Amino acid sequence: MKLIKAFIRTRQVDDVIRALRAARAPGITVSRVHGVGYGYDPMLFTLSPSELNRAPEVAKVEVVCVDGDVTRLIEAITIAAQTGSQGDGIVFVTDVQRAMKIRTGEEDSQALRLMGGSS
């Protein structure tokens, strides 16, 4: 299993969610985060709460999926998130060692299969 984590422009979130649903993502998590990005000067920037507003708000979109779905889901994200301008975002893919559905106890791909269903 893989965790796809994409940091994108907040105004692209709706398009990315629609694209992921169309691509049959088993579940989607969206969070608001603040991105510092590459090339920032740590002497001019701190992460103290009073200074956090200096970092632009971006969206973090996360999807856990089986290995065979990664290419399709990344393609859906990148097409929907791309504006052609600097700052469109970045996608990371990492391994997931284990997943367990709390209610049923089902694990790994079985837990993912049921995430989008009514079970």
Q: What is the mean pLDDT of the segment spanning 95-105?
A: 92
Is residue 6 within 8 Å of 91, Cβ to Cβ?
yes
Query: pLDDT value at position 116?
Result: 44
79 pLDDT higher than 70: yes
Which of 32, 35, 51 is closest to 43 using CA atoms? Answer: 51
What digits encode the pLDDT tens for the residues 3-62? Answer: 999 999 999 999 999 999 999 998 899 999 977 666 555 555 555 665 556 667 899 999
C-alpha torsion sign, points 19, 25, 29, 35: negative
Q: Does residue 44 sit in helix, strand or coil?
A: coil
Query: pLDDT value at position 63?
Result: 97
CATH, range 2-93: 3.30.70.120
Tell whether pTM > 0.85.
no
